[in-house]
């Protein structure tokens, strides 16, 4: 049987779109069985994407990472995080909301897959995989935390202000569950992000001549790290729960999106996707 890169890519996108339609459709129509089917399709898309990585279809690994590859890896880690929450906490909603995000990231990646950034030899080492891997895992955790936090704030506001929770909102996880998801994301995201940043800073000296070169990406990343450290500390030491960590995680995720979509594409940085 012929398995091509193109066929796999389109199959993954198809599964992600079907998972989005069934997941959100089931959620809105309050049909658990349909929503669960969406989650199963999401799991299939994840397995396919993982297989495609192992089969080396991800061309971008050969000479560096393209903007498309970045987005696909981000989608993969987001799907992984959603799957973990589905299987461990029995929360379909996390995966249901991860599905459209993954589908959008995957679809957006396709036009940019061929724009491979040829990395300097100094960056073509295992440290680079470590750097990217840890940062993208934490980015995926931030994405899931963003979804959980947004839902938490929305539902909390309704409960506090005594507004009725109608329709599909009745099937959303309880506030405590959303807060637990947020907590787990923060507790795993901060150490992973720290390793990602440290691996980058340590490698920066031999490559760019300085540990910190004032690159816009480095500045934004350090701000994100500081915010993560702040929320991580407060969750553990000051027993932060509920609204405050939710609002902080929303800010952190939006800043990370700014870093990925604006700094990497529009600003002059040695992390720029436009470099050739």
Partner 1 sequence: MDTSIYLVGLNHRTANVDIRERFALANQCSQQLWAIPCSEQIRENIILSTCNRVEIVASGQSKTVDELLETWAKARNAPVEELKPYVYTYAHADAIRHLFLVASSLDSMVVGEPQILGQLKKAYKQAAQAKKTGPILNRLLHKAFSVAKRVRTETQVASNAVSISYAAVELAKRIFGDMAQHKAMLIGAGEMAELAARHLLHFGIQELFVANRTFARAQALAEEFSAHALPFESINETLPKVDIIITSTGSTDPIIRARNIAGVLRQRKNRPMFFIDIAVPRDVDPDVNGIDNVYLYDIDDLKEIVEENLSSRQDEARKAQKIVEDEVTSYLAWLKSLEVQPTIVDLIGRHERIANEELTHTLRHLDPDKILALAQASPENSKAELQNLLEPMLKAIVHKINHEPLMYLKGESTHLGQIERINTIRNVFGLK
Binding-site ranges for partner 1 (CB under 8 A): 155, 159-160, 162, 164-166, 170, 173-177, 179, 239-244
Residue 26 vs 200, nearer CB to partner 1: 26
Comparing CB distances to partner 1, the nearer of 30 and 205 is 30
Q: Rounded to the nearest whole angstrom, what is the least distance from the CB of residue 243 to partner 1 in the complex?
A: 6
Spatial CA neighbour of 135 closest among 203, 197, 186: 197
In the complex, the smallest distance separating the C-beta of residue 178 from partner 1, rounded to whole angstroms, is: 9
Please, what is the minimum distance in Å from the beta carbon of residue 154 to partner 1? 12
Nearer to partner 1 among residue 205 and residue 244 (C-beta) = 244
Contact criterion met (CB below 8 Å) for 11 and 48:
yes
Give min distance, CB of 174 to partner 1, in A: 3
In angstroms, what CA-CA distances link 206 with 111, 122, 178, 202, 273? 33, 8, 43, 8, 21
Q: Which is nearer to partner 1, 121 or 160 (CB)?
A: 160
Residue (4 or 161) nearer to partner 1, CB: 161
CB 70 within 8 A of CB 127: no
Q: Are 268 and 276 in contact (CB under 8 A)?
A: no
- Closest CB 37 distance from partner 1, rounded Å: 17
Alpha-carbon dihedral 124, 126, 132, 134, rounded to 10 degrees: -170
Q: How many Å apart are CA 19 and CA 92, to the nearest integer?
A: 12
């Amino acid at each position: 049987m012929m398995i091509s890169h193109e066929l796999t890519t389109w199959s993954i996108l198809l599964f992600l779109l079907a998972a989005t339609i069934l997941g959100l459709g089931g959620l809105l129509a309050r049909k658990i069985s349909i929503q669960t089917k969406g989650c199963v399709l999401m799991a299939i898309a994840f397995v396919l994407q993982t297989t495609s990585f192992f089969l080396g279809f991800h061309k971008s690994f050969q000479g560096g990472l393209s903007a498309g590859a970045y987005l696909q890896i981000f989608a993969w880690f987001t799907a992984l995080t959603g799957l973990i929450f589905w299987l461990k906490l029995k929360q379909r909603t996390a995966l249901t909301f991860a599905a459209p995000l993954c589908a959008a990231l995957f679809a957006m990646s396709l036009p940019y897959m061929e724009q491979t950034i040829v990395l300097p030899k100094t960056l073509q080492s295992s440290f680079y995989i470590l750097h990217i891997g840890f940062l993208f895992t934490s980015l995926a955790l931030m994405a899931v935390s963003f979804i959980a936090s947004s839902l938490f704030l929305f539902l909390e506001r309704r409960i506090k202000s005594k507004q009725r929770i109608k329709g599909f909102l009745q099937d959303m996880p309880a506030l405590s569950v959303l807060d637990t998801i947020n907590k787990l994301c923060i507790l795993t995201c901060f150490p992973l992000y720290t390793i990602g940043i440290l691996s980058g800073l340590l490698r920066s000296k031999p490559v760019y001549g300085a540990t910190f070169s004032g690159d816009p990406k480095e500045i934004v990343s350090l701000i994100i790290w500081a915010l993560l450290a702040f929320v991580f500390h407060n969750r553990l030491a000051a027993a932060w729960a509920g609204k405050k960590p939710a609002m902080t995680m929303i800010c952190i995720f939006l800043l990370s999106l700014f870093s990925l979509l604006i700094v990497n594409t529009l600003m002059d940085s040695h992390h720029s996707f436009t470099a050739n």
